[in-house]
Amino acid sequence: MIYRIDVTVTAPVADTEVPERVADAVLELFPHAEVTEHPGEVRAETHSLEEFSERLHRQEILDTARNEFFSTLRSDGFAFDLKKQAAFVGVVNFSVGNPDELGDVHVDVHVTEPDVESFVDHVAPPTEDGRPVVDE
């Protein structure tokens, strides 16, 4: 199946932070993103969540990811926030509750094809006993 998505990643850059380091944190989780620096913000665009999905599988947090994705589900996509500090070391850590002092990484996913729920199933498949359920 071919997936057509547009992903926008934004991360605030505090006065005490180096913009290049924030850009590196974004690239740790979204290695194929095109990153641009703006005053007070790093912005990135990508059309793939394959590496991000692989990280979710390796960290065994598919259920957590699904919950986050479905909690913001809309007809054309979903969004979620990640802890910036964890991203610096290549770890996916969803931000829930109050934003981090230096701000969170915001990810907005716009799905053109297929439908949004099918794409969520592709990125973070349903699990049974902690293992992805695979259709035979």
pTM over 0.85: yes
- Residue type at position 28: E
Q: What is the pLDDT of residues 68-94, one digit of tens each?
A: 999 999 999 999 999 999 999 999 999
What domains, with CATH codes, occur in the chain? 4-124 (3.30.1440.10)
Q: What is the pLDDT of residues 50-73, one digit of tens each?
A: 999 999 999 999 999 999 999 999
pLDDT for residue 136 = 39
- Confidence band, pLDDT 50/70/90 cuts, at residue 134: low
Under a CB-based contact definition with an 8 Å cutoff, are residues 112 and 75 in contact?
no
Listed residue (78, 100, 82) closest to 91, CA to CA: 82
Q: How far apart are CA 108 and CA 8, in angstroms?
A: 5
Residues 6+ apart with CB under 8 A from 33: 7, 9, 26, 27, 44, 45, 46
Whether pLDDT at 24 is above 90: yes
Question: Please, how many CA atoms are within 13 Å of residue 26, restricted to the half-sphere of its CB?
Answer: 31
Whether pLDDT at 99 is above 80: no
